[in-house]
Chains A and B, each alone.
Chain A
């Protein structure tokens, strides 16, 4: 009787373990399928011509994604330039300030910002920047993306700077260095690796964002360097081509997806490597 009960419990234990392992393996399948699929479809499309020419109308062979590639880079570059000063200074404030009510409210705002659906950010920027000027623009897209980058930059800056030892700051202050110089010349360089990591992570997060660009950067079939005009970008081009019925355009979209996914993966891997190698150690 006792033995049977024990055997039952042992088998139940084994079955459960087996179940866990199987379920875990099953959940990796989509990832493997996705990556394999994109690579197989994407590699065949990509060549020098694909990267250096403009999209062609339906029916004509060839055509590339040069304008989307440049557009994406431009939008992200401007977004980073907007987000970094705000993000780093807010992170500094959080790491220096004591938890009073301003700190708490600002922290809550950052948390909320992180949770806002990206499409809602698109709407807000549309109301702020597109409607008053009466025109879609790359700049408004950059602003939308910079909002989405902020939380990761703020969090990583705060956490890194909190790790910088107090003695460093006190030593600098005791030598008569003014507070602002202490922050910029002593504390910032000590935590620069963590801050850079946060910035890269933020870029990786927004590089593939489509929803906020729908009503801000809008897309543009031609080459454009003007940030106050509509501009093409990789995620938008994937979306537009993917829902189109043309086989040619689907091929372009696969190529664009491949480039986008590899960009994001490489950025993520960079943060992983630097995170372990540059980790602030005192």
Chain B
């Protein structure tokens, strides 16, 4: 698979070289293909989504792993979070158009920027909802794996629950936490449909989080079937190749961390 991608993107690698990474303009008409704006768009949306979702996934993980590991509400919550993971991403995108866009638009009116409604912030919001299940279930797993004896030792010294979490659980699961966040990042980078529907699809370097932009995945989704010309086509494939390599590296690192944590 990797080879297919590499071979098919050779024309653009030859024609563009490193300019592909740092070139600012993406202009199929004049044959300039610089992916910098998508790289920035992708990075911005994913990081923002991680920032928004991490506190929530951590609290869900602690809620289910430490505070209330059993009980009807917890099993309901666990199932609900899993259902959240099962909903197709087009449906998220569609709901986002109807629900999140107006919210962001009114926010933008208050802040005083052009009220597009779509843009990086909107895409990040929907992404953060979509990645919570992945990191939350992982964090729950590692929280429940903290040895009982460590926690009991701390309690017997008179520690409160907050102090146990702060000084025992969090340091113990630090590597597991980072794995959860990494795997969520891998998800966020590759997510296509919901982002395509909400980011606005403009190929320029965004100046603020309210700007419309484009991510690697959304560019491919929008332009792949319309690509004319050899270089244009293979530039899009090279974008896919880049996405493939980055997500694969992230996934392998994340999985290795979890494996080490489990043993």
Contacts and interface: CB of A to CB of B under 8 A. Distances in A.
Contact of A23 (B59, B97, B161, B247): B59
A117 B243 contact: yes
B62 A210 contact: no
B189 to A, nearest CB: 7
Contacts of B55: 23
Given A12-B162, A27-B132, A37 B248 contact: no
Given A118-B192, A214-B225, A208 B162 contact: no
B144 to A, nearest CB: 15
Interface stretch (A121-129, A155-163, A182-190): A121-129
Given A28-B77, A242-B197, A257-B94, A119 B59 contact: no
A99 to B, nearest CB: 13
Contact of A124 (B4, B60, B93, B247): B4
Contacts of B162: 9, 12-13, 16-17
Given A123-B5, A123-B224, A235-B88, A243 B192 contact: no
Contact of B89 (A204, A210, A214, A218): A210
A209 B86 CA distance: 11
B8 interface: yes
B60 A123 contact: no
A31 interface: yes
Contacts of A204: 86
A254 to B, nearest CB: 8
Given A124-B5, A208-B90, A37 B255 contact: no
State which size class the interface on B falls in: 35 or more
A261 B94 CA distance: 12
Contacts of A34: 87, 91-92, 95
Interface string B174-187: 00000000000010
A82 interface: no
Interface string A251-271: 001100100110011001000
A31 B120 CA distance: 21
A111 interface: yes
Contact of B63 (A21, A31, A123): A21
A20 interface: yes
Contacts of B190: 115-120
Interface string A109-147: 001101111111011101110000000000000000000
Interface in A28-52: 28, 30-31, 33-34, 37-38
A210 B98 CA distance: 19
B79 A117 contact: no
A111 B252 contact: yes
Interface residues of A, number: 60
A100 interface: no
Given A116-B248, A117-B192, A128-B4, A9 B63 contact: no
Nearest to A119: B192
B187 to A, nearest CB: 9
A19 interface: yes
B82 interface: yes
Contacts of A38: 91, 95
A126 B224 contact: yes
Contact of A115 (B83, B165, B221, B247): B247
A127 B4 contact: yes
A170 to B, nearest CB: 29
Given A23-B56, A119-B217, A208 B160 contact: no
B211 interface: no
Contacts of A208: 86-91
B163 interface: yes
Contact of B160 (A10, A120, A257): A10
Contact of A214 (B1, B163, B224): B224
Interface string A5-26: 0000110110011011101101
Contacts of B59: 19-20, 23-24, 27
A26 B251 CA distance: 29
Interface string B145-184: 0000000000000001111010000000000000000000
Given A28-B77, A211-B221, A120 B240 contact: yes
B22 interface: no
A154 interface: no
A160 B65 CA distance: 26
Contacts of B197: 239, 242-243
Given A27-B56, A123-B5, A265-B83, 6 more contacts: A17-B161, A27-B60, A117-B243, A117-B247, A123-B237, A211-B217
Interface of A: 9-10, 12-13, 16-17, 19-21, 23-24, 26-28, 30-31, 33-34, 37-38, 108, 111-112, 114-120, 122-124, 126-128, 204-205, 207-211, 214-215, 218, 235, 238-239, 242-243, 253-254, 257, 260-261, 264-265, 268, 272
